[in-house]
Amino acid sequence: MQDAPCRLLGEIRYPEEYSFERVGEIESEAGEVLAGALAGLDVVRLEVMPGPESLRFEVACEECPAEDGASVAEALLDLAGDGPFGRLVVVRGVEEPISVFYFSGEKLDEVTLEQP
């Protein structure tokens, strides 16, 4: 794995009542949505990992301010508009805060964790 100082770790958890077709739609759209949302970042690696209960992804990039994390989460809101719950964790350098974005439907919340 290439070394990059910033990581974005995300998950979109599917509701139990989702059909295989809807899961397939999200999986097929997620890569393109992520690529568009990450266009302004210096991305070293993007990995999308579909699964039966959720879609997970990991991004490694040179830097990722909290504003860029919010932009990625906002871009994913359309995929989560009809029920899925999503979260995005932005991990920067050791001295930097960690940002966590929770999203579902039209709602986006951010939590920042400072170094103790």
Which tens digit of pLDDT belongs to each residue from 80-114?
778 788 999 999 888 889 999 999 888 899 999 88
Residue 39 makes CB contacts below 8 A (sequence gap 6+) with none
Distance set, CA 23 to CA 2, 27, 84 (Å) = 30, 6, 10
Give the predicted TM-score (pTM) of the model.
Answer: 0.87
Contact status, residue 49 vs residue 57, Cβ threshold 8 Å: yes
